[in-house]
Amino acid sequence: MVDTLTFTEPDIHAVLDTMSDADLDALGFGVIGFDADQLVVRYNSVESSLAGLSAHRVLGQPLFTTVAQCMNNFMVAQRFDDASAAGEALDVTIDYVLTLRMRPQRVKLRLLSSPSGAHRYVLVLRPQ
């Protein structure tokens, strides 16, 4: 199951919640999980090596104001706020540019949240 989990997997949110840290590290895309207070609670090794930051520098930090300021606009952060305010689930994939190690890098972001889920996620896929 875990080996075959892809970026586009339908209902990925529930699966992510049940995965161990080691399982997350084995995925082929970056995973950033955060809680209702927007503090980072999960950070897999793919994301860590893309960004050039160890997990300990990121875990427990607020996502949109310190870890990923580049997503703090209406295209990403606002979507999580809107979904949460409306009590709706969010699962959209958008094209975006991240500044990984300060170099502009086109990526696909998948934004996941559900009113019931414990964590929200940003998944980061770097095109091959």
Partner 1 sequence: MQSSLEIADEYEALTQFLYLAPVGIVQLSIDGEISLLNPVSAQLLMPLARDCELSNLFTLLEDVAPDLRYQTEHFDKPHGMVCDALRVQLNAGGRGVSDPPVLSLTLLKLDHARMMALLSDVTTQVKREKLLRQNEAWFNAILTGITDYALISLDASGRVNDWNPSIGRVTGFAREQVISAAYSLFYPSDAITRDRILDRLHEADTNGWSMDDGWILRADGSRFWGSAVIVPLVDRDATPQALAAVLDTQEESRYCLIVRDITDKREATERYRLETQCDHLTGLANRRTFFEAAELELARFKRSPRSLSLILLDADNFKGVNDRYGHGAGDEVLKRLSSVLLTTFRQVDIVARVGGEEFAVLLPSADLDEAYNAAERMRLAVASQSVEVAGQSIRFTVSAGVAAMDGDIAGLDALMKYADAALYAAKAGGRNRVELRAEPLADAELPLA
Residues lying near partner 1 in the complex (CB under 8 A): 51-54, 57, 66-75, 95-99, 101-104, 106
- Judged by beta carbon, residue 68 or residue 112, the one nearer partner 1 is 68
- Taking the complex as a whole, the smallest distance from the CB of residue 16 to partner 1 amounts, in Å, to 24
- Judged by beta carbon, residue 53 or residue 59, the one nearer partner 1 is 53
- Taking the complex as a whole, the smallest distance from the CB of residue 127 to partner 1 amounts, in Å, to 12
| Angle ∠(118,122,128) on CA atoms, nearest 5 | 145
- Judged by beta carbon, residue 64 or residue 121, the one nearer partner 1 is 64
Q: 21-55 burial by CB neighbour count: b if 16+ within 10 A, else e? A: eebbbebebbbbbbeeebebebbbbbbbebbeeee
